[in-house]
Amino acid sequence: MSNNYFKFKQFRINQEGSAMKVGTDGVLLGAWTEIDGTDRILDIGTGSGLIAIMLAQRTNVNAKIDAVEIDDSAYEQASENINNCLWSHKIHAYHLSFQDFCNKTEANGYDRIVSNPPYFMNGLNAKGEARTKARSANHLPFEELVVGAKKLLKPTGTLSVILPIEEGEYFERIARLNGFYARRKVSVLPNPGKPAKRYLLEFSLQEVVLQDYSLAIENGQRHVYTAEYMTLTKDFYLKF
């Protein structure tokens, strides 16, 4: 398999123009996000378009998905992947920052907002300008993401993200300070008994009982996957 593309069961992601390549984080978020009763979705920082396309595959025929991307090359890549997928009629890509998109968009319009957000803070930057922009929270601070999401969500809507543990805990605090309640929280473990590496987090504007559980990816051996992970991602990965 070439590093320039990633083949899924029903679509292909070309990624030579995207700083952030297809990875477990994006696939997890695209497969895990709840879609029941969903008509409008916003994907913040769509990158290659992966999560938007996964959600388009999963949602009903009338669902509409908006995908926002600030980086020039990533936007072009996302547009290509969206145009080439089976559900291109569902997805519209926007080439601007989330802050500008939020300012131009009517409030309370989305059932779901999802983001695999940039998370490098405190001056820690990735190598390369495009990768830095994709991963640095300097371009989209958590506070601005949360405040914008609160404006754009319907009162019954949800915000879902995936983040490393430390950044996820900080994001939880920011969300709570801005009126969000944690609804689902999944600790993602590389193997059973190992420390969690990621949190899948879902927030609601309505107070609910938190569902808090864990998900292991591999079953103690490299490339031997747990039943739970395979069940979650089986509609996408060719190997499942």
The answer to whether residue 146 scores a pLDDT higher than 90 is: yes
pLDDT at 132: 47
Q: Looking at residue 207, what is its pLDDT?
A: 95
Query: Is residue 31 within 8 Å of residue 9, measured between CB atoms?
Result: no
**pLDDT tens digits, 198-209:** 999 999 999 999
What's the CATH superfamily of 97-233? Answer: Vaccinia Virus protein VP39 (3.40.50.150)
Q: What is the pTM of this model?
A: 0.91
E strand or H helix that includes residue 92: strand 91-95
Domain locations along the chain: 97-233
129 pLDDT higher than 70: no
pLDDT digits (tens, 9 = 90+) for 24-58: 999 999 999 999 999 999 999 999 999 999 999 99
Q: How far apart are CA 12 and CA 16, in angstroms?
A: 12
CB burial of residue 37 (10 Å; 0-12, 13-18, 19+): exposed
pLDDT tens profile 166-206: 999 999 999 999 999 999 999 999 999 999 999 999 999 99
pLDDT score, position 19: 78
